[in-house]
Amino acid sequence: MKTFKFEGNSDDTFGEYGVTNDDVNNCAKNAPIQCDITSSYGQLSVVGHYWISPSPHGCWTIGIAPIDEDVKIPAWPVRFKLSDEGYSPSMEIDAPDDAKLTWYSNGNLVNA
């Protein structure tokens, strides 16, 4: 089993810092960064989005979603934790050993 740890950094970078240390920098474009986790045991999407609140400050929001409408989210353990930085929670997902990550910025495939 692998434990992936997702969190945002600054206002423009979102990544996985538990196994791969891959991240995507979208240059603070206020666009979501998505990471699909694919395994022979299931698939799910992790989404990080840095949004600017009505105050002049921004924060990261992190969540999960199905890969597609008819694909169920696998029952992998998911935990949210508070970060020392304060602007980004972290999310840990325990996934099978064969899990692979594919990254997207605002819906466009990127090489992490």
User: Is the model more confident about 1 or about 60?
Assistant: 1
The pLDDT, as a whole number, for residue 84 is: 66
CB count within 10 Å of CB 13 equals 19
- 75-86 confidence digits (pLDDT tens): 999 999 886 666
A 10 A CB-CB count for 91 gives 19
Is pLDDT larger for residue 21 or for residue 84?
21
b/e for 19-40, b at 16 or more Cβ within 10 A? Answer: ebeebbbbeeeebbbbbbbbbe
Which residue, 92, 74, 75, is CA-closest to 83?
Answer: 92
Helices (H), the chain: none
The pLDDT, as a whole number, for residue 83 is 67
User: pLDDT tens across 30-67, in order?
Assistant: 789 999 999 999 999 999 998 877 776 778 889 999 99
